[in-house]
Every structure is written in structure tokens, then in C-alpha cells.
Amino acid sequence: MATNLRVFAHRTSENLPLKSMGDFDGTSAHGLLNTLKRYCNRTSRILIHPSCLRNIDPLGLKVFRESLDVLHGQSGRHVSR
């Protein structure tokens, strides 16, 4: 992940809200996707709150969007975009 990206999680019985703080780039996208893969089978809904991101690199956003398909079918309910 970008050296200054931090992701905070507060899991509830059904939801996993993730608050992202810092800069989002290609490396961060892969790190966030790995986090999603780890939790998507154990939670019904994952909520990503990007409001505290300072910079969003277009490449990072592209990598993240194009890689979301690998999560389809892994969640108890669904993966929303």
C-alpha cells in the first residue's frame, strides 16, 4: 500500500465498514483488494468510506475497479460497486 494509506475496520455482526485515510495508488488498490478478499466470506456487507483520502491516483482507481470482479461470488450476499 502507499506508505501513508491506512485502513481502519470496525466489524459488526453483518457489516465491515472500512475507513481509508491517506493516498490511494495502484499498490494501495491491491492491498485493499487483499483485505476485501480476506473478509468477504465472513461478512454480509463491506462498506468503504473514502472521504478521508487525500489523493486518488487514476491508475489506482482503475486497478481497483477492474479487479473487483475477482470478488464476485465470494460474499454471502453480493459485492456492490
Q: Could you give the domains of the chain?
A: 6-71 (3.30.750.24)
Residue 19 sits at φ, ψ, to 5 deg, of -105, 120
Query: Is 52 exposed, middle or buried (CB count within 10 Å of its CB: 0-12, 13-18, 19+)?
Result: exposed
Q: What is the pLDDT of residues 5-20, one digit of tens each?
A: 888 888 777 888 989 8
How would residue 59 be classed by pLDDT, with cut points 50, 70 and 90? very high
How would residue 76 be classed by pLDDT, with cut points 50, 70 and 90? very low
Residue 10 sits at φ, ψ, to 5 deg, of -135, 90
Task: Give the Cα-Cα-Cα angle 27, 30, 36 (nearest 5 degrees).
Answer: 145
- What global pTM score does this model have? 0.74
Non-local (6+) Cβ contacts of 75 within 8 A are: 40, 41, 43, 44, 46
